[in-house]
Amino acid sequence: MFRWYVVNTYSGHENKVKHNLEHRVVSLGQQRAVRNVVVPTEAVAEMKDNQKVTVEKRTMPGYVLVNMELNEDSWGVVKGTPGVTGFVGASQEPVPLTQGEVDRLLHKEVATATRTRAQFSIGESVKVVSGPLSDFSGEISEINEDAARLKVLVSIFGRETPVEVGFDQVKKL
**Taking CA 81 as the corner, what is the angle to CA 23 and CA 96, rounded to the nearest 5 degrees?**
100
Write the CA distances from 12 to 19, 27, 40, 98, integer angstroms.
13, 24, 13, 26
Per-residue model confidence (pLDDT) at position 102: 84
What are the extents of the domains in the chain?
Answer: 2-115, 119-172
Query: What residues contact 112, with CB distance under 8 A and at least 6 apart?
Result: none
* Dihedral pair phi/psi, residue 20, rounded to 5°: -65, -40
From the list 138, 125, 151, the residue with the least C-alpha distance to 166 is: 151
2-115 CATH fold: Alpha-Beta Plaits (3.30.70)
**Taking CA 71 as the corner, what is the angle to CA 30 and CA 90, rounded to the nearest 5 degrees?**
125
pLDDT tens, the chain, 173 aa long: 899 999 999 988 999 999 999 999 999 998 899 999 999 888 777 777 777 788 888 888 899 999 999 888 888 899 899 999 988 887 678 888 888 888 888 775 433 445 556 688 899 999 988 888 888 999 999 988 877 889 999 988 889 999 999 888 888 88
Per-residue model confidence (pLDDT) at position 116: 56
CA-based torsion, 27, 31, 34, 37: positive or negative:
positive
Q: How far is CA 34 from the centre of its chain?
A: 25
Class for domain 119-172, per CATH?
Answer: mainly beta
Per-residue model confidence (pLDDT) at position 15: 92
Write the CA distances from 48 to 55, 125, 147, integer angstroms.
11, 16, 18
By CB atoms closer than 10 A (0-12, 13-18, 19+), residue 3 is middle
Q: Is 159 helix (H, G, I), strand (E, B) or coil?
A: strand
Contact (Cβ atoms closer than 8 angstroms) between residue 74 and residue 21 = no
